[in-house]
Amino acid sequence: MGTPDMGRFFVSDIIVHEIPKRYAAEDDRDLELSEFVVDVGDVVRNFFKERITTTITRYGVDVTVDEGRDQRVPDWVRKHLNGGADLVEMSQDMARHLFKSQDGVQPEGLLVLVDSTLEGEPALAILKLQKEEGARVQRTARGSQSSLNVEHLRELILGQKTRVFKAGLFTLGHGGSVVGWVSDEQVKEFANFFLHQFLGCELAKQPAQTTREFFVITREFINEEVAEPEQKAMIYEALQVEVRSSKDTLSTSEFIATHVPDEYHDTLEQIYADRHLPSGEFTKDTSRIKPSELKSRRGRTRKGLTITGDSNLFDELVSEDERNGERVTVIRDRIITYS
């Protein structure tokens, strides 16, 4: 599906509900829920637009409805996007559902529903936030003197650097199905409560599939688009290092910026977009990449030189030839560093 044009994402209404912590033994509780939409003004509306844009662009992954899960949220979203559900009532239902879905592990937080449009069509963003603490400095006066006072705030909900922030953005796809993007800035917890139990969704592509596609597509790019053998080798090596590393995530944009020469940035970015890879970060799962694909090949010459490298590169750059009646190994490359 790819990332939508978030420049055409606009917020119209915002409603916020406080979701207390639910203890494991607690069955139900009357929640004090918001009962009307407050006009927050353009500045707040645009602030939410920009914050949701950033999180969906950087961390968003395509999701679809998982019919094997609780379908209350997708049903409410579908009804609302079709014009059939009032924002306040639906958000209250969603808040109660979120509270009941919690299993005692999740901390108290806020559920924020953002009624919006995306590329001219109705859209709904669902955010789960935690309150944060902060400090505010304000000038204060005593008689003719002035000074700065530091005030402690416990009620901050969303700043430019808020980390505990999960967001889903939904719209109607072909045939009226609910489609969307979900981001979790704490990516480790992605396969989690918010996505599955609460939203009733699943990743459109599993991390193992995305990781494999990233690996294969990048390898194809190196073979087909990169002309210089030195550059090929450098990107191959970086790809292997990234995939083998202990990091939990990969990022297409970071890979391009860090490991790909400038002249190929646009080409690879376009290839990733055309093949529907996330434009930013995604969870890494190498289970569908065969160990042999990550294995280096090693060759040793009769006189004791060792050549090590990616097996594909090996096939491409190393060949046997006969010169002046003697069998020789030809390596179409150049040594650029010695150790």
Partner 1 sequence: MNDGLAAEFEWLREPFGGLCDQLQGWLQVTARTVGVKEFSVSGRVKETDSFVRKLIKKPHGHYQDPLRDMVDKIGVRIDVLYEADADRLCQAIESENDAFTLLRAPDHKITKLGAATLGYLGVHFDVRPSNVPDGIPPEYGLAEIQVRTYTQAAWAMASHDLIYKLQDILAIPTAVERRIHRLMALVELFDDQVGQARDAIVTHPDFPAARVIDALEGRIVRFTSSARDPELTKIVVDTILEGMDDHEVARLPGLLEEWAAENEGKLGEIYVAYSDDPRHPLLRQPEALLVFHELGQGLTRKNGLRQAWETRLPLVYLDGLAGVWGEPY
Site string for partner 1, 9-28 (x = CB under 8 A): xx------------------
Least distance between partner 1 and beta carbon 271 (Å) = 12
Nearest to 192 by CA among 63, 78, 2, 22: 63
Nearest to 133 by CA among 160, 149, 112, 157: 157
Nearest to 251 by CA among 278, 231, 233, 224: 278
Nearest to 182 by CA among 80, 196, 174: 196
Q: Which is nearer to partner 1, 263 or 315 (CB)?
A: 263
Asked if 256 is part of the footprint of partner 1 (rule: CB under 8 A), the reply reads yes
Least distance between partner 1 and beta carbon 136 (Å) = 18
Stretch that binds partner 1, among 16-24, 104-112, 180-188, 251-259 (CB under 8 A): 251-259
Q: Which is nearer to partner 1, 46 or 146 (CB)?
A: 46
Stretch that binds partner 1, among 41-49, 92-100, 179-187, 225-233 (CB under 8 A): 41-49
Site string for partner 1, 263-302 (x = CB under 8 A): x-xx--xx--------------------------------
b/e burial code for range 307-324 (CB count within 10 A of at least 16 → b): bebbeebbebbbeeeeee
Stretch that binds partner 1, among 105-113, 198-206, 258-266, 322-330 (CB under 8 A): 258-266
Task: Give the separation between CA 282 and CA 207, rounded to whole angstroms.
Answer: 7
3-state secondary structure of 133: strand
Q: According to CB under 8 A, which one of 16, 17, 33, 45 is a site residue for partner 1?
A: 45
Asked if 41 is part of the footprint of partner 1 (rule: CB under 8 A), the reply reads yes
Task: Give the separation between CA 40 and CA 118, rounded to whole angstroms.
Answer: 20
Asked if 6 is part of the footprint of partner 1 (rule: CB under 8 A), the reply reads yes
Strand partners, 299: 307
# binding residues, partner 1 (CB under 8 A)? 27
Least distance between partner 1 and beta carbon 277 (Å) = 13
Q: According to CB under 8 A, which one of 262, 320, 321, 326 is a site residue for partner 1?
A: 262
Using CB atoms within 10 Å of the CB of residue 156, give its burial: 0 to 12 exposed, 13 to 18 middle, 19+ buried: middle
Asked if 7 is part of the footprint of partner 1 (rule: CB under 8 A), the reply reads yes
Least distance between partner 1 and beta carbon 318 (Å) = 32
Q: Which of residues 54-113 bind partner 1 (CB under 8 A)?
A: 54, 57-58
Least distance between partner 1 and beta carbon 185 (Å) = 13
- Give the residue ranges of DSSP H helices in the chain: 41-59, 72-81, 87-101, 207-225, 229-244, 252-259, 265-274, 291-294, 311-317
Least distance between partner 1 and beta carbon 239 (Å) = 17
Kind plus residue range of the DSSP H or E element containing 226: none
CA dihedral 260, 266, 272, 274 (to 10 degrees): -160
Least distance between partner 1 and beta carbon 40 (Å) = 12
Task: Give the separation between CA 259 and CA 269, rounded to whole angstroms.
Answer: 13
3-state secondary structure of 117: strand
Asked if 253 is part of the footprint of partner 1 (rule: CB under 8 A), the reply reads yes
Q: According to CB under 8 A, which one of 21, 46, 121, 173 is a site residue for partner 1?
A: 46
Least distance between partner 1 and beta carbon 266 (Å) = 4
Gyration radius (Cα) of the chain, Å: 26
Kind plus residue range of the DSSP H or E element containing 6: none
Least distance between partner 1 and beta carbon 296 (Å) = 29
Q: Which is nearer to partner 1, 3 or 106 (CB)?
A: 3
* Residues near partner 1, by CB under 8 A: 5-10, 41-43, 45-47, 49-50, 53-54, 57-58, 253, 256-257, 262-263, 265-266, 269-270
